[in-house]
Amino acid sequence: MARDIPPQVAVCGPGDCTTTEGEWAAEVGRLLATAGATVLCGGGTGVMAAVAEGATRAGGLVIGVRPDTDRSAVCRGLSAVLYTNMGEARNAILVQSADAVIVIGGSWGTLSELAFAHHRGTIPVISLGGWQVHDAAGNPIPAAKLATDPADAVHRALT
């Protein structure tokens, strides 16, 4: 018998984020949890820790997909952790496990997650204060839908 599985939304962002990015991530986590979505993240610091905290405070389920096996590097607020020991390759696992991806802020690891998500071509990819990609001529490439705030990002991810 098939059962309904809530949407899984990956929230990606830098481990060293700004205060604003952290606030956005916490609110995105809260809104996703309130909507009944499962939050996927990297399980580390910065945006990852903020989204986990926001979702957990709202009673949500949060899965961390770690690049290592270091249990001391895991952020608080995770419901479960997948220790991949695959380094940056875990970014592909995180994105392939998601029904939508929200990118908050930017770092090189976040850019790879955005690229993996866009390359899938079958899921919503939303950017909140994150990367904007341009071709060699300087023309924007629509790699993600641009959100104006956390509520807009979550709405775009879940619709």
Give the pLDDT confidence of 92-104 residue by residue, as tens digits.
Answer: 999 999 999 999 9
Burial class (CB in 10 A: 0-12, 13-18, 19+), 97: middle
Cα-atom radius of gyration of the chain, to the nearest Å? 14
| Cα–Cα dist 62/50, whole Å | 11
pLDDT of residue 1: 46
∠ at Cα 9 (8, 15), nearest 5°?
130
How do residues 120-154 score in pLDDT, each as one tens digit? 999 999 999 988 888 999 999 889 999 999 999 99
Indicate if the pLDDT at residue 41 is higher than 60. yes
∠ at Cα 47 (149, 74), nearest 5°?
150
Q: In this structure, how many other beta carbons lie within 10 angstroms of the beta carbon of residue 22?
A: 22
- Cβ–Cβ < 8 Å for 14, 41: no
pTM score of the predicted model = 0.95
